[in-house]
Chains A and B, each alone.
Chain A
Amino acid sequence: MDRLALVIAAGRTELVMLSIRTRPADEAAAEVETAIRSLRLDPPIIRA
């Protein structure tokens, strides 16, 4: 049994869907939260 976190976000012209699947593990929960909170849509382009 895996734990699945899904985020559906509407951008300017696109729908962006993020799924993160992990084996149930409490220690991974913080990293799942960190990843979800880091999601940005239409981010500014960083030019090298």
Chain B
Amino acid sequence: MQLPATCRSAHRGDPHTRTRNIRVATPLGFPGVSPVRRHATSSWALELPEGMLGRAVDPAPDSPYASMWILRGWLHDTAPSTAVVTTRPRKGVTLRSEARRLSAILLDGPMDGDGIDVEGARGARRIDGLVDLGEGVS
């Protein structure tokens, strides 16, 4: 299948990276969760409800990220949602410090987050919080 130019070029430095979008009939874990669709690149894979749609986009020229994937839609058919997956080369920054940087936008301020298991990862942390993006931004 020929991918759109934005998908072909979304992973800088690797023009042959293929992005995939595969429907998966059975969601993991929770009963009553909507059917999911699998989104994947050579770096990561993720399953999201079918109500979430999106694709790879080119990061801005001044972006620190090498690739970016944005999906928008609805979770549970009721909650407007946005999912973003970004990647960048590892450069020796600790996960805790990266967590503090990314969580600076949360109302509770920067935090280290908690360690979680992610298959295939050499380590992972998770942060949960509330964010106020302001009127007119969604």
A37 and B28: CB pair below 8 A?
yes
For the complex, would chain A's binding face be called helix, strand, loop or mixed by DSSP majority?
mixed
Q: How many whole Å from A40's CB to the nearest CB in chain B?
A: 4
B124 and A31: CB pair below 8 A?
no
With A3-B130, A4-B128, A5-B126 known to touch, is A11 a contact of B30 (CB < 8 Å)?
Answer: no
Q: Which of A11-30 contact B (CB under 8 A)?
A: 11-25, 27-28, 30
Number of interface residues of A (CB under 8 A): 44
A30 and B33: CB pair below 8 A?
yes
With A10-B95, A36-B126 known to touch, is A31 a contact of B121 (CB < 8 Å)?
Answer: no
Task: Please report the C-alpha to C-alpha distance between residue A9 and residue B121 in the assembled complex, in whole angstroms.
Answer: 6
Task: Please report the C-alpha to C-alpha distance between residue A24 and residue B128 in the assembled complex, in whole angstroms.
Answer: 12
The residues of B that contact A41 with a CB separation of less than 8 Å are: 43-44, 118-121
Task: Please report the C-alpha to C-alpha distance between residue A13 and residue B123 in the assembled complex, in whole angstroms.
Answer: 12
The residues of B that contact A24 with a CB separation of less than 8 Å are: 130
B132 and A1: CB pair below 8 A?
yes
Interface of B toward A, CB cutoff 8 Å: 1, 18, 20, 22, 27-30, 32-34, 36, 38, 40, 42-49, 66, 75-76, 78-90, 93, 95, 98-99, 102-103, 105-107, 113, 116, 118-133
30 examples of A-B residue contacts, CB within 8 angstroms: A2-B130, A2-B133, A4-B105, A6-B113, A6-B127, A7-B118, A8-B98, A8-B99, A10-B121, A10-B124, A11-B87, A11-B90, A11-B121, A13-B90, A14-B89, A15-B90, A16-B85, A18-B84, A19-B84, A20-B81, A21-B81, A25-B75, A27-B79, A30-B30, A30-B76, A35-B46, A38-B46, A41-B121, A43-B42, A43-B120
